[in-house]
Amino acid sequence: MQKYDFKTQPSILIQGAMDTETEYLIEKLEGREKITLGNWEFHTGFLGKYREPVIISKTYQGMVNAAAASSLALACFSPKTVINQGIAGGHDTSFHRGDVVIGEKVVPMGAMVRRYAPHGAGISETDFEPLPIEIFDKGLGKTRKVVDFPCDERLIAIAEQMEAGLTAGRGVLGSADEWNNQIDRIALLRERYHTTAEDMESAAPAELCLSYGIPFIAIRILSNSVVNGEEFDESVGLEGQKFVLRFVEALQGL
Protein backbone atom coordinates (compact mmCIF):
# COMPACT_ATOMS: atom_id res chain seq x y z
CA MET A 1 0.00 0.00 0.00
CA GLN A 2 1.34 3.42 -0.98
CA LYS A 3 2.21 5.66 1.93
CA TYR A 4 -0.21 8.54 2.55
CA ASP A 5 1.39 11.88 1.69
CA PHE A 6 0.04 14.46 4.13
CA LYS A 7 1.87 17.23 2.27
CA THR A 8 -0.09 16.70 -0.94
CA GLN A 9 -3.16 14.65 0.01
CA PRO A 10 -6.13 16.10 1.93
CA SER A 11 -6.31 15.84 5.71
CA ILE A 12 -7.92 17.46 8.73
CA LEU A 13 -5.74 19.79 10.79
CA ILE A 14 -6.59 19.65 14.51
CA GLN A 15 -4.98 22.26 16.74
CA GLY A 16 -4.54 22.59 20.48
CA ALA A 17 -2.22 24.80 22.48
CA MET A 18 -1.28 22.58 25.42
CA ASP A 19 -0.70 18.94 26.35
CA THR A 20 -4.08 18.84 28.06
CA GLU A 21 -5.62 19.78 24.70
CA THR A 22 -3.63 17.44 22.44
CA GLU A 23 -2.17 14.40 24.23
CA TYR A 24 -5.26 12.19 24.02
CA LEU A 25 -5.73 12.83 20.31
CA ILE A 26 -2.06 12.19 19.56
CA GLU A 27 -2.17 8.89 21.45
CA LYS A 28 -5.21 7.83 19.40
CA LEU A 29 -3.43 8.28 16.06
CA GLU A 30 -2.74 5.12 14.03
CA GLY A 31 0.47 5.10 12.02
CA ARG A 32 1.68 8.16 13.89
CA GLU A 33 4.67 10.09 12.60
CA LYS A 34 6.15 13.34 13.88
CA ILE A 35 7.22 16.18 11.63
CA THR A 36 9.09 19.15 13.09
CA LEU A 37 8.84 22.53 11.41
CA GLY A 38 10.72 25.30 13.16
CA ASN A 39 9.80 25.13 16.85
CA TRP A 40 6.54 23.26 16.24
CA GLU A 41 5.72 19.57 16.08
CA PHE A 42 3.01 18.08 13.89
CA HIS A 43 1.78 14.52 14.38
CA THR A 44 0.34 12.85 11.31
CA GLY A 45 -1.75 9.68 11.29
CA PHE A 46 -5.24 8.25 11.08
CA LEU A 47 -7.94 8.98 13.64
CA GLY A 48 -11.21 7.33 14.58
CA LYS A 49 -13.13 4.32 13.35
CA TYR A 50 -13.00 5.58 9.75
CA ARG A 51 -9.23 6.19 9.93
CA GLU A 52 -9.53 9.81 8.86
CA PRO A 53 -6.13 11.27 7.86
CA VAL A 54 -5.35 14.04 10.35
CA ILE A 55 -2.54 16.26 11.54
CA ILE A 56 -2.41 17.12 15.24
CA SER A 57 -0.68 20.43 15.85
CA LYS A 58 0.40 21.59 19.30
CA THR A 59 0.54 25.34 18.71
CA TYR A 60 1.61 26.49 22.21
CA GLN A 61 -0.25 29.28 23.96
CA GLY A 62 -0.99 32.69 22.55
CA MET A 63 -1.87 34.39 19.30
CA VAL A 64 1.62 34.63 17.80
CA ASN A 65 2.34 30.96 18.43
CA ALA A 66 -1.03 29.97 16.98
CA ALA A 67 -0.49 32.14 13.91
CA ALA A 68 2.99 30.73 13.31
CA ALA A 69 1.91 27.11 13.73
CA SER A 70 -1.10 27.68 11.48
CA SER A 71 0.96 29.36 8.76
CA LEU A 72 3.44 26.50 8.75
CA ALA A 73 0.68 23.89 8.59
CA LEU A 74 -1.19 25.61 5.75
CA ALA A 75 2.02 26.04 3.76
CA CYS A 76 3.45 22.57 4.31
CA PHE A 77 0.38 20.31 4.39
CA SER A 78 -2.91 20.13 2.48
CA PRO A 79 -5.65 20.46 5.10
CA LYS A 80 -9.19 20.38 3.75
CA THR A 81 -10.57 21.43 7.15
CA VAL A 82 -9.11 23.07 10.25
CA ILE A 83 -10.41 22.41 13.76
CA ASN A 84 -9.08 24.64 16.51
CA GLN A 85 -10.02 23.18 19.88
CA GLY A 86 -9.16 23.25 23.54
CA ILE A 87 -10.27 24.92 26.75
CA ALA A 88 -11.82 28.36 27.25
CA GLY A 89 -13.15 30.66 29.93
CA GLY A 90 -16.89 31.32 30.07
CA HIS A 91 -18.52 34.70 29.53
CA ASP A 92 -22.15 33.56 29.29
CA THR A 93 -23.91 32.39 32.47
CA SER A 94 -25.88 29.80 30.50
CA PHE A 95 -22.65 27.84 29.82
CA HIS A 96 -20.91 26.06 32.69
CA ARG A 97 -17.56 24.41 33.27
CA GLY A 98 -17.43 21.25 31.17
CA ASP A 99 -19.88 22.58 28.55
CA VAL A 100 -18.79 22.79 24.91
CA VAL A 101 -19.04 25.99 22.87
CA ILE A 102 -19.34 25.32 19.15
CA GLY A 103 -18.01 28.48 17.56
CA GLU A 104 -20.34 30.17 15.12
CA LYS A 105 -17.65 32.80 14.67
CA VAL A 106 -14.45 33.99 16.29
CA VAL A 107 -13.92 37.64 17.16
CA PRO A 108 -10.47 39.19 17.73
CA MET A 109 -11.47 40.91 20.94
CA GLY A 110 -8.05 42.56 21.25
CA ALA A 111 -8.74 44.53 18.05
CA MET A 112 -10.23 47.84 19.11
CA VAL A 113 -10.15 51.52 18.24
CA ARG A 114 -10.13 54.00 21.11
CA ARG A 115 -11.65 57.44 20.65
CA TYR A 116 -9.54 60.56 20.89
CA ALA A 117 -9.16 62.16 24.30
CA PRO A 118 -7.05 65.25 25.01
CA HIS A 119 -4.11 65.39 27.40
CA GLY A 120 -5.27 65.16 31.00
CA ALA A 121 -8.69 63.73 30.16
CA GLY A 122 -7.83 60.42 31.77
CA ILE A 123 -8.05 56.88 30.44
CA SER A 124 -11.38 55.18 29.80
CA GLU A 125 -11.50 51.38 29.54
CA THR A 126 -14.97 51.53 28.02
CA ASP A 127 -14.51 54.13 25.26
CA PHE A 128 -13.72 51.80 22.34
CA GLU A 129 -15.30 49.97 19.45
CA PRO A 130 -14.24 46.78 17.59
CA LEU A 131 -11.57 47.54 14.98
CA PRO A 132 -11.98 46.01 11.48
CA ILE A 133 -8.95 43.95 10.44
CA GLU A 134 -7.62 43.82 6.89
CA ILE A 135 -7.19 40.33 5.43
CA PHE A 136 -6.15 39.15 1.99
CA ASP A 137 -9.05 37.15 0.58
CA LYS A 138 -7.59 34.53 -1.75
CA GLY A 139 -10.97 33.92 -3.37
CA LEU A 140 -11.37 37.60 -4.26
CA GLY A 141 -7.70 38.13 -5.01
CA LYS A 142 -7.63 41.33 -2.94
CA THR A 143 -7.80 42.63 0.60
CA ARG A 144 -10.95 43.39 2.55
CA LYS A 145 -11.77 44.37 6.12
CA VAL A 146 -13.66 42.19 8.58
CA VAL A 147 -14.64 42.43 12.23
CA ASP A 148 -15.05 38.69 12.83
CA PHE A 149 -14.16 35.32 11.35
CA PRO A 150 -17.20 33.08 10.66
CA CYS A 151 -16.92 29.33 11.17
CA ASP A 152 -18.11 26.94 8.49
CA GLU A 153 -21.88 26.41 8.68
CA ARG A 154 -21.72 22.78 7.53
CA LEU A 155 -19.22 21.97 10.26
CA ILE A 156 -21.31 23.81 12.86
CA ALA A 157 -24.43 21.85 11.85
CA ILE A 158 -22.63 18.51 12.22
CA ALA A 159 -21.25 19.45 15.63
CA GLU A 160 -24.69 20.56 16.82
CA GLN A 161 -26.30 17.28 15.76
CA MET A 162 -23.84 15.05 17.62
CA GLU A 163 -24.92 12.84 20.51
CA ALA A 164 -21.85 13.54 22.59
CA GLY A 165 -22.91 13.13 26.21
CA LEU A 166 -21.88 16.74 26.88
CA THR A 167 -23.89 19.94 27.00
CA ALA A 168 -22.99 21.79 23.81
CA GLY A 169 -24.27 24.82 21.96
CA ARG A 170 -23.15 27.41 19.46
CA GLY A 171 -21.72 30.73 20.51
CA VAL A 172 -19.19 33.45 19.76
CA LEU A 173 -15.59 32.86 20.80
CA GLY A 174 -13.56 35.92 21.73
CA SER A 175 -9.85 35.46 21.23
CA ALA A 176 -6.88 37.56 22.38
CA ASP A 177 -3.76 37.43 24.53
CA GLU A 178 -5.93 38.07 27.59
CA TRP A 179 -7.25 36.20 30.61
CA ASN A 180 -10.20 38.18 31.96
CA ASN A 181 -11.46 37.75 35.52
CA GLN A 182 -13.24 41.06 36.10
CA ILE A 183 -17.01 40.61 35.91
CA ASP A 184 -17.61 44.12 34.58
CA ARG A 185 -14.90 43.71 31.94
CA ILE A 186 -16.44 40.43 30.78
CA ALA A 187 -19.86 42.09 30.62
CA LEU A 188 -18.37 44.85 28.45
CA LEU A 189 -16.77 42.32 26.10
CA ARG A 190 -20.11 40.55 25.78
CA GLU A 191 -21.76 43.87 24.97
CA ARG A 192 -19.23 44.88 22.30
CA TYR A 193 -18.27 41.48 20.83
CA HIS A 194 -21.21 39.26 21.95
CA THR A 195 -18.79 36.69 23.36
CA THR A 196 -19.84 33.37 24.85
CA ALA A 197 -16.32 32.40 25.93
CA GLU A 198 -12.72 33.50 25.53
CA ASP A 199 -9.51 31.77 24.48
CA MET A 200 -6.00 32.83 23.49
CA GLU A 201 -5.53 31.20 20.08
CA SER A 202 -8.55 30.62 17.85
CA ALA A 203 -8.66 34.03 16.13
CA ALA A 204 -5.28 33.44 14.47
CA PRO A 205 -6.13 30.24 12.54
CA ALA A 206 -9.68 31.52 11.95
CA GLU A 207 -8.31 34.62 10.23
CA LEU A 208 -5.85 32.62 8.12
CA CYS A 209 -8.47 30.08 7.08
CA LEU A 210 -10.84 32.87 6.07
CA SER A 211 -8.04 34.36 3.99
CA TYR A 212 -7.22 31.02 2.33
CA GLY A 213 -10.84 29.91 1.94
CA ILE A 214 -10.37 26.77 4.06
CA PRO A 215 -13.36 25.51 6.11
CA PHE A 216 -12.72 26.24 9.79
CA ILE A 217 -14.41 25.57 13.10
CA ALA A 218 -13.46 26.39 16.68
CA ILE A 219 -14.66 24.05 19.41
CA ARG A 220 -13.95 24.92 23.04
CA ILE A 221 -14.82 23.25 26.33
CA LEU A 222 -15.14 25.54 29.34
CA SER A 223 -12.39 25.09 31.91
CA ASN A 224 -13.77 27.85 34.14
CA SER A 225 -16.57 30.38 34.37
CA VAL A 226 -15.89 33.33 36.60
CA VAL A 227 -19.39 34.65 35.84
CA ASN A 228 -20.78 31.48 37.44
CA GLY A 229 -18.15 31.26 40.20
CA GLU A 230 -16.65 28.09 38.69
CA GLU A 231 -12.87 27.80 39.13
CA PHE A 232 -10.28 26.75 36.57
CA ASP A 233 -9.86 23.05 35.82
CA GLU A 234 -7.79 22.29 32.73
CA SER A 235 -8.46 18.55 33.02
CA VAL A 236 -11.73 19.08 31.12
CA GLY A 237 -9.50 19.29 28.05
CA LEU A 238 -9.63 15.49 27.91
CA GLU A 239 -13.41 15.50 27.43
CA GLY A 240 -13.00 18.23 24.85
CA GLN A 241 -10.63 16.03 22.85
CA LYS A 242 -13.05 13.11 23.07
CA PHE A 243 -15.76 15.39 21.68
CA VAL A 244 -13.47 16.35 18.80
CA LEU A 245 -12.68 12.69 18.07
CA ARG A 246 -16.41 11.95 17.76
CA PHE A 247 -16.78 15.05 15.64
CA VAL A 248 -14.07 13.87 13.23
CA GLU A 249 -15.89 10.54 12.92
CA ALA A 250 -19.12 12.42 12.20
CA LEU A 251 -17.41 14.27 9.33
CA GLN A 252 -17.02 11.05 7.32
CA GLY A 253 -18.41 11.65 3.86
CA LEU A 254 -18.60 15.45 4.17
Residue 112's alpha-carbon distances to 134, 177, 189, in angstroms, are: 13, 13, 11
Sign of torsion, CA 178 179 181 183? positive
Give SS3 for 209: helix
pTM of this structure: 0.96
Cα angle at 213 between 209 and 219, to 5 degrees? Answer: 40
Round to the nearest angstrom and report the end-to-end CA distance of the chain: 25
pLDDT by residue for the chain (254 residues), tens only, comes to 469 999 999 999 999 999 999 999 999 999 999 999 999 999 999 999 999 999 999 999 999 999 999 999 999 999 999 999 999 999 999 999 999 999 999 999 999 999 999 999 999 999 999 999 999 999 999 999 999 999 999 999 999 999 778 999 999 999 999 999 999 999 999 999 999 999 999 999 999 999 999 999 999 999 999 999 999 999 999 999 999 999 999 998 55
Question: Which CATH code fits 11-250?
Answer: 3.40.50.1580
